[in-house]
């Protein structure tokens, strides 16, 4: 295994080196970096041309310019910067004289945050829908999700972004000024949700009817309540709803893993739910009045520690599964708690930002808000670009998961498991799902690289000052320094993700290392 990892690491480094050379050569030959000065009528034009030529090294041969950039990159590696021929680490300056390393730090944080969230959402939603469509093969739900997957896969990124800006931001902000819902709207949404859920649940016509009526009634009642109490402007979850949501999350986790027959896992997850609810009830006031990221991260680590103790202490022979499911429950509860804290501060955020869903930029300039108002502002700016990247990526996960699940479900060991009398839930979750995930390990790496490429267009449409803007401006100015900084981050991320996928695949299937 170590030889396999070393070989993959060496190949990855060679790919990065070759890719950087190709990117550098293509960039410096894509145009004239002093074209704007040649057309200028400035009396000092010749001096300006000479200064830019010297600053960008335009009088040097291309290989010397590339070596100077590579030497600066190698200088960041610990130990190498002590060698005389390497020098100190630097990514150079852009055409305006600003240090590219400072520009890269801000741009990379914005883009990677956006891409990572979109990737996680696409994985969770795409794999979940892929499993359901495979189980409900040739049903109406399968056909509907498959149709939407092909639509999402073929959507131009810029077109989807413009539609979202118009309807999910501008139209929604107009409605949010006076949010009212007519009975026709409430019933239309409830019927649509009920129809989709009954397709996903499947079964006999009676089961479908019960699912439709129950889900439609719950959605209609919830929307009527939200409209009555003006919930869309003053939303709140509160501790009672948090506890109910935590119980539901714990029950779902148990049902999807070991089932309620394994009492040890049930007790461990129940203990996690109870302890997490008590901790959140005690700390909720402090989280609202004196919030900080170290405090929030500390609460998250505390919830995970409680889950580990509950799983190891009450799991018995099933302590591994109990610990894993307790941790998953604790993480879901933490997300619910974070959402509750943000929604509690939503009304105060609307006082400083009446049109909350942003269409441009990653933050509101000169926003004078407290901690939670700043967090909400950053989150609302991420909604639309995250949705764009997610719907473009989710189609691949749906199709690959569906195909992989269908292939696994037709294997002999699945028929053997069913013939032993195992429930369909155990057959799907314990046998089919785990083996169907093996081919998907490589898809994640390719999708991550594809999302970074798609982020260039997305950031341009939404006015984000991220990696896409850094790349676009550098390419327009024929300035290799910011373009190579873009390649350094995105190329390294793509190659590392592919390498990790290969290593993960090797652990899942040891035959690959031979």
Per residue in 213-250, pLDDT (tens digit) is: 999 999 999 999 898 888 988 887 788 889 999 999 99
Highest mean pLDDT of the ranges 118-132, 147-161, 328-342: 328-342
What's the rounded mean pLDDT across residues 146-159?
85
Q: Which residues contact 197 (CB under 8 A, 6 or more apart)?
A: 211, 212, 215
In 290-370, alpha helices (H) = 293-314, 319-344, 346-352
* Residue with more model confidence, 254 or 422: 254
C-alpha 446 chain-centroid distance: 14
Q: How many CB atoms lie within 10 A of CB 124?
A: 13
Q: Check residue 83 and give its pLDDT.
A: 52
Per-residue model confidence (pLDDT) at position 85: 53
Q: What is the pLDDT at residue 256? A: 77
What are the residues whose beta carbons fall under 8 Å from the beta carbon of 473, sequence distance 6 or more? 479, 482
Q: Predicted confidence band at 507 (pLDDT cuts at 50, 70, 90)?
A: low
Residue 55 corresponds to which tokens in the numbers above?
A: 């600053």
- The chain-wide mean pLDDT, for the chain, equals 85
Query: Cα(132)–Cα(61) distance, rounded to whole angstroms?
Result: 58
CB-CB contact of 273 with 250 (8 Å):
yes
| pLDDT at 493 (0 to 100) | 78
User: 374 — phi, psi (to 5°)?
Assistant: -70, -40
Is 283 in contact with 300 (CB distance < 8 Å)? Answer: no
C-beta of residue 177 within 8 angstroms of C-beta of residue 113: no
Residue 295 in this model has a pLDDT that exceeds 90:
yes
pLDDT band per the 50, 70, 90 thresholds, residue 136: confident
Beta bridge partners of 93: 99
Tally Cβ neighbours within 10 Å of residue 61. Answer: 9
Q: What is the mean pLDDT of residues 63-75?
A: 84
Mean predicted confidence (pLDDT) in 432-438:
78
Query: Do 361 and 463 meet the contact criterion of CB atoms below 8 Å apart?
Result: yes
78 pLDDT band (50/70/90 cuts)? low
Q: With cut-offs at 50, 70 and 90, classify the pLDDT of residue 513.
A: low
> What is the pLDDT, as a whole number, of residue 280?
94
Higher pLDDT residue, 225 or 454?
225
Which residue is it, tokens 């910067």? 81
pLDDT given at position 261: 81
Residue 212 has pLDDT above 60, yes or no: yes
In terms of phi and psi (left: phi > 0; alpha: psi -120 to 50; beta: otherwise), the region of 211 is alpha
Distance CA 129, CA 238 (A): 30
Are 163 and 432 in contact, with CB atoms under 8 Å apart? no
Q: Render pLDDT for 341-392 as a digit per residue (tens, 0 to 9).
A: 999 999 999 999 989 998 888 888 888 888 999 999 999 999 999 998 888 8
Cα atoms in the Cβ-side hemisphere of radius 13 Å centred on 164: 25
């Amino acid at each position: 295994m170590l030889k396999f990892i070393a070989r993959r690491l060496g190949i990855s480094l060679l790919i990065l080196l070759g890719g950087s050379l190709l990117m550098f050569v293509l960039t410096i030959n894509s145009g004239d970096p002093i074209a704007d000065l040649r057309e200028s009528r400035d009396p000092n034009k010749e001096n300006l041309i000479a200064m830019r030529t010297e600053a960008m090294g335009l009088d040097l041969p291309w290989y010397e310019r590339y070596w100077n950039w590579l030497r600066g990159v190698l200088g960041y590696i610990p130990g190498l910067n002590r060698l005389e021929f390497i020098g100190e680490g630097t990514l150079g300056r852009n055409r305006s004289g600003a240090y590219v390393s400072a520009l890269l730090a801000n741009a990379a944080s914005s883009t990677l945050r956006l891409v990572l969230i979109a990737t996680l959402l696409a994985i969770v939603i795409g794999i979940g829908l892929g499993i359901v469509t495979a189980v409900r093969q040739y049903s109406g739900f399968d056909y509907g999700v498959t149709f939407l997957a092909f639509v999402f896969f073929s959507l131009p990124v810029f077109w989807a972004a413009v539609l979202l800006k118009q309807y999910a931001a501008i139209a929604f902000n107009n409605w949010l000024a006076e949010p009212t819902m007519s009975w026709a709207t409430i019933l239309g949404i409830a019927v649509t949700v009920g129809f989709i859920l009954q397709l996903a649940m499947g079964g006999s016509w009676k089961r479908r009817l019960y699912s439709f009526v129950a889900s439609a009634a719950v959605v209609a009642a919830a929307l009527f309540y939200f409209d009555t109490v003006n919930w869309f402007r003053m939303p709140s979850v509160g501790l009672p709803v948090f506890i109910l949501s935590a119980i539901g999350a714990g029950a779902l986790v148990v049902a999807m893993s070991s089932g309620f027959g394994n009492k040890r896992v049930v007790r461990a997850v129940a203990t996690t739910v109870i302890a997490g609810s008590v901790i959140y009830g005690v700390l909720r006031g402090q989280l609202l009045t004196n919030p900080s990221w170290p405090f929030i991260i500390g609460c998250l680590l505390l919830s995970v520690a409680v889950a580990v103790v509950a799983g190891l202490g009450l799991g018995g022979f099933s302590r591994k599964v109990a610990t894993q499911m307790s941790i998953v429950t604790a993480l879901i509860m933490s997300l619910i708690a974070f959402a509750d804290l943000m929604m509690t501060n939503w009304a105060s955020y609307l006082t400083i930002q009446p049109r909350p869903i942003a269409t441009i930029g990653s933050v509101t300039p000169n926003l004078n808000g407290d901690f939670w108002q700043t967090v909400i502002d950053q989150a609302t700016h991420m909604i639309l670009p995250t949705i764009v990247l997610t719907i473009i990526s989710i189609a691949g996960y749906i199709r690959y998961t569906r195909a992989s699940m269908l292939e696994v479900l037709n294997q002999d060991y699945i028929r053997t498991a069913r013939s032993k009398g195992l429930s369909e839930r155990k057959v799907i979750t314990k046998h089919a799902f785990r083996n169907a995930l093996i081919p998907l390990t490589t898809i994640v790496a390719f999708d991550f690289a594809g999302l970074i490429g798609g982020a260039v267009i997305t950031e341009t449409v939404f006015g984000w000052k991220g990696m896409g803007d850094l790349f676009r401006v550098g390419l327009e100015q024929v300035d290799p320094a910011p373009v190579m900084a873009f390649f350094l981050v995105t190329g390294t991320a793509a190659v590392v993700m592919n390498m990790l996928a290969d290593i993960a695949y090797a652990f899942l299937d040891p035959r690959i290392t031979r």
